[in-house]
């Protein structure tokens, strides 16, 4: 898949999913990745910066970073490690953008065979849990 197609898909996903509310009081920010990559794209960096700004503005108690990866073949441990590394990359970017490390929790979901190779399976979700009054 060429970069412009991935960028287009990411922008569409941002339009539909960026900062959507889950009903639990948490805002969610999806950061998409290219296949096999842990590099945050410029669009992804903007989404992380937006999430960091929201976390700071709301005095968030918890910023949960949930990594996902596609399942390719039988080496699921490598794909789970990729999900962990993606979550670490996003957590580091959040810290760089001013979110306290103690606020950030990182989780990696195991790969799902049903989503193998799709953009939908190559992302990190940032979930902001705002402080309660």
CATH of the domain at 71: 3.30.1330.60
Q: What is the pLDDT of residue 58?
A: 93
Under 8 Å between Cβ of 69 and 82 = yes
Overall average pLDDT of the 52-56 stretch:
97
**Token representation of residue 97:** 């953008």
Overall average pLDDT of the 57-77 stretch:
84
Helix 42-57 with 76-96: angle, nearest 10 deg: 60
Q: What is the pLDDT of residue 95?
A: 98
Q: What whole-number distance in Å separates Cα of residue 28 and Cα of residue 30?
A: 7
The two beta strands, 62-67 and 104-108, are: parallel
What are 46's strand-pairing partners?
A: none
Q: What whole-number distance in Å separates Cα of residue 9 and Cα of residue 51?
A: 19
Q: What is the pLDDT of residues 82-91, one digit of tens each?
A: 899 999 999 9
Under 8 Å between Cβ of 93 and 39 = no
Domain range for 7 is: 3-129
Res. 22: pLDDT tops 70: no
Out of 4-13, 80-89, 117-126, which region has the weakest mean confidence (pLDDT)?
Answer: 4-13
- The average confidence (pLDDT) of the chain is 80
Looking at the structure of the chain, the number of domains it has is: 1
Q: How confident is the model at residue 97 (pLDDT cuts 50, 70, 90)?
A: very high
């Amino acid at each position: 898949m060429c970069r412009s197609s991935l960028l287009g898909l990411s922008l569409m996903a941002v339009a539909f999913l960026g900062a959507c509310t889950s009903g639990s009081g948490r805002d969610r920010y999806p950061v998409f990745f290219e296949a096999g990559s842990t590099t945050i794209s410029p669009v992804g960096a903007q989404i992380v910066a937006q999430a960091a700004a929201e976390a700071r503005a709301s005095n968030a108690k918890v910023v949960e970073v949930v990594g996902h990866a596609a399942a390719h073949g039988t080496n699921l441990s490598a794909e789970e490690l990729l999900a962990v590394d993606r979550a670490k990359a996003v957590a580091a970017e959040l810290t760089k953008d001013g979110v306290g490390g103690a606020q950030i929790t990182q989780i990696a979901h195991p790969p799902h065979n049903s989503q193998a190779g799709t953009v939908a399976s190559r992302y990190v979700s940032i979930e902001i849990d705002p402080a309660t009054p």
